[in-house]
Amino acid sequence: MDSPTIRDEVRLAMNEKFGKPLVLNVESGAIYRWVLKRERGPSLYITLDAPELPALVHLLISDPLPDEVNPISAALARTWDEAAVLLDRIMAQWKRGSAEERGAGKREHGFA
């Protein structure tokens, strides 16, 4: 049996943090999309694509918050340490959006 790829490991970690994703099967494999609902305000969308590159984590982050300079950004990771940083940043961006909608302050983290 093949050992899990970094892409597999990150997908499983994202399932634990964010719940079950929507799955789109394409010729080269599966693309995963998580919809991270906020208490108030628009949801944050995270897509794990590029199944043809199993040794690479390629994430598209779509954040329709009105203050986002770059509402769509991309992030890459090749190691678990790099991926863990990305997951922490996504978590902070998700929580920040909910806090800002309640008037709790400006962005400190994110992918802009």
DSSP characters over 6-52: HHHHHHHHHHHHH-PPEEEEETTEEEEEEEE--SSSPPEEEEEE-TT
pLDDT tens digits, one per residue of 44-79: 999 999 999 999 999 999 998 877 677 899 999 999
CA atoms within 13 A on the CB side of 38: 22
CA separation for the pair 16, 28 (Å, rounded):
24
CA 73, 67, 97: angle at the middle one, nearest 5? Answer: 80
User: Is residue 105 predicted with pLDDT exceeding 50?
Assistant: no
User: Is residue 31 predicted with pLDDT exceeding 90?
Assistant: yes
Copy the structure tokens of residue 85: 């940083």
